[in-house]
Amino acid sequence: MAFVACEGHARSLVYLPRIGHAWIKLDFAKRIFIAGDVLLQNCDQCLGLLRAEIDALKVAHLDLVFALLLKRAKDQKKIPDAYTNLHAIGIVLSIRIGLNQFDIGLIWRRHNLFSVAVFQEIREVRLVISLLKFPAMAKSRIARVVIGFVCSPWALSIIAVAARLVVFWEILPMQTANGFYRYNEQARIAWALVSGYGFSSPWVETPLVATAQQPPLYPWLLAGIFKIGGAYTHTSLWIAVCLNAGFAGLTAVVMLRLGKQIFGLAVGVLAAWVWSVWLYELAVSLRVWESSLSALLLIVSLWLWLRLDAAAPKIHWAAFGILAGAAALANTSLLSVFACWWFWRCSQGRVFVRRVFISILFCIITLVPWTVRNYTQFHRFIPVRDNFGYELWVGNHDSPAAREYGPDGEISFMESRRDMAMEFIRTNPGKFLRRCVYRFFQFWTDPKKDWLSLSLVAWLGLMLAIRKKVANVIPLTIPVWVFPIVYYITHPSPSYRHPIEPMILMFAAFALVNTVNWGLRRKASAV
């Protein structure tokens, strides 16, 4: 890595390099930086979003990238002295193309901004290179292929899908199709739909009458699968599992992009690959449930949310509202995350209030048809589902569990269970508090073999990211803080945590990468 020395006082507004590189300008007042070790020295100062421009060059950015990265003769003719005058930039960009990250090289042209995450990314690229003993191994075609493979979204998504199908193939003979469908309310409702009973009967012991016990999106999806492959068949199970695996593969790609954007290359790659090949994640995503779909909807929503600034078109805000409505129709608990995102954006200035209102309006419009259906069936205002009282009772009662409806139907059953739970909380506040603490511990550690240490590392990464004031990290923390609250007061399950596990893995990867970087810096300083 070439070193570009800068003269001038640390508080000067404009830094000019030595005579050999007088064409490079580093203007702190205008926040203009040029790539090189100057960036690496300043990346820990948390300067926020920085604009990267190349002054004094009368060539297009794309021509510059082609000349420095692709090294094609016809491109080099456009800038014949590229390697003599631009080596400080050229080395950084050449490293990027060596890691098969051509999209990073074009970041100036596409986004016209250069963030602290990119600074960190350059450092992580250097870390990867040092671990691979670059340039000796970088000259090896195998090393370049391996690095390109782990950074490839296509490779990541294919491996994520294939790994899940392999695991399913192995465990299917042990559980059979009935094992996957057993005690599955959403599959039961899908069966009722294709059997002509409508959206009804979430449990076997309940009558075939209308229900709002589950949100409708995934049961509708399963009903379409049952229409194709038959209800409760191996064919339908394969289709459903393949669909869940596809959701997980797309989630891995968004994790890679989002992790790179917020934390840098190494964090995005590490988190996405853990999601793709970790046996625990493979097994959870195979369940015939909405968890994989909810995880995809949430992380795509976060990816879109980070692009909704004051200059974003109103149609993008409307699209985010529709996406929020779709997420609520898949997993109602996700609405708490979207509500906090909207509130947080409004707190950033009045300019966002109208845009947030547009987003909320389209979210409500998305939910209106299902709310009207519920009012027609139950003569009650039920925006999505009616089972909160029952879930509260499941985690807060001392009486034997029962799910049979009374003569008055589902609404009466849910309300009676809510009243019983509230009475238990009023009369046993200490026991309720202890149960909430236990459920908090259970949510973050179950299964303990896999999640106790991971959760600790993830929380460490979250606190570290806040302490370092990583750009755009607050929206990423909101799902981790807010989404589990409803399960602290009702009852948790490992599959309930699945929608926010991509964020958890990114924070854990951030902590690990920072720990490795710290160790390497200590080692280098000791030498």
Specify the amino acid at residue 94: S
Does an H or E element contain 97, and which? helix 87-98
Query: pTM of this prediction?
Result: 0.76
CB 471 within 8 A of CB 522: no
CB 2 within 8 A of CB 87: yes
Which of 87-91, 134-138, 224-228 reaches the highest mean pLDDT?
224-228
Can you give the pLDDT at residue 403?
Answer: 65
CB 452 within 8 A of CB 445: yes
Can you give the pLDDT at residue 239?
Answer: 96
Residue 128: pLDDT band (50, 70, 90) is very low
Token pair of 365 as six digits: 């419009």
Q: What is the mean pLDDT of the chain?
A: 77
Can you give the pLDDT at residue 420?
Answer: 92
| pLDDT greater than 80 at residue 87 | no
Region 130-140: what's the mean pLDDT? 42
CA dihedral 480, 294, 306, 383 (to 10 degrees): -90
Region 153-178: what's the mean pLDDT? 90
Cis amide bond preceding 502, omega within 30: no
Residues 6+ apart with CB under 8 A from 348: none
Region 86-104: what's the mean pLDDT? 35
Distance between CA 374 and CA 383 in Å, rounded?
A: 8
Q: What is the pLDDT of residues 253-295, one digit of tens each?
A: 999 999 988 998 889 999 999 999 999 999 999 999 999 999 9
Q: What is the pLDDT of residues 450-491, one digit of tens each?
A: 899 999 999 999 999 999 888 889 999 999 999 999 999 999
